Each structure stands twice: as C-alpha cells, then as structure tokens.
Amino acid sequence: MEKAICPKCEHTKVVKSGIIGGRQRFKCKKCGYHFTVNKLGKSIDKYYVVKALQLYIEGISYREIERILGVSHVSVMNWVKQYKIKAPENYDYRPTYKVLNHTELVKFMAQKENLTDTGMLITELGDKFMIIKWERFKNR
Ligand SMILES: [Zn+2]
C-alpha cells in the first residue's frame, strides 16, 4: 500500500477507515479529517486484484465479490481473464464469509466450536478482516 498523507494538514499519521467504492478511506490522526486516495496507485489496485482473485478461487460469485470489495463485477471478470485464473469446478461445499473488525475476530476465534470441523482463511480487508469458512468435512 502507498503511504497516504492528510490533504488538510499534511500529517503522515493516518489510519485506514473503511472502504468506499473500492477506494481505501483514511482518517488523519492529527486533525481527524476523513479522505480517500483520489487516484489509486498501481500498488493499491493490485491489493484489490489479489483479494478479488482469492475470493473467486474460493467459489464466491462475481456479484458477491462486488458487494464485499466495492469493485465492479466487470473488473473482477476482467482480472480473472487477464490472469487466466481457473477456479476448480463442482464445489461440493459452499464457502461462507464474515467481515469482522479486530475485536469481533478475536471473539470469534476464542470460541472453539467456530474452529472445529471447518476450513478457514483469514484475510485482511481494508481496516477489517474477512473470514472465509467452508465446512467441507461435514457431509463426507
Ligand atoms: Zn490532518
């Protein structure tokens, strides 16, 4: 990720504050000003490409990826084509996902039943975390 600078006071201590329309939103730690990075740098673009392709391989639909990441499903389709990604066909399990903040994630992980009989992947998503979970061992 590129370093963001507050456009109001030029302070460099900024924190991630959600995603709007596929763009990372930031909050300045000094003056509290909220801003998004106007022109996405190539490195930020790549961040979303990788996340989108991860989700695609996990069997999540284009529309769902659009909803999760805030990038258009057309972009995701183009990336899949561009990088020649092939997701395995005929899933006999369907992944579910949750988007949690850090506190919620810690609570979720503290419960042992959330971790048993399941496969799970945790990925950073802006200032939050996403758990992709699939219960692939349940019906076998
Ligand atoms: Zn500021």
Residue 11's pLDDT is: 83
Distance 108 CA to ligand 1 centre (A): 34
Q: How far is the CA of 137 from the centre of ligand 1 (A)?
A: 50
Paired residues of 26 in beta bridges: 16, 35
Residues, beta carbon < 5 Å, ion ligand 1: 6, 8-9, 11, 28, 30-31, 33
Answer whether 94's CB lies under 8 Å from 132's CB. Answer: no
Distance from residue 37's CA to the centre of ligand 1 (Å): 14
Could you tell me what percent of the chain has a pLDDT over 70? 84
Q: Write the pLDDT tens digit of every residue in 13-56.
A: 889 888 877 778 889 999 998 888 754 455 557 878 888 998 88
Considering the domain 1-39, what is its CATH architecture?
Answer: Single Sheet (2.20)
Instruction: List strands edge to edge, sheet with 128-134.
Output: 96-100, 128-134, 119-125
- Which pLDDT does position 53 carry in this prediction? 92
Q: Rounded to whole angstroms, how far apart are CA atoms 13 and 35?
A: 13
Q: Is the pLDDT reported for residue 90 higher than 70?
A: no
Around 50, how many Cα atoms within 13 Å sit in the side-chain half-sphere? 11
Q: What is the pTM of this model?
A: 0.54
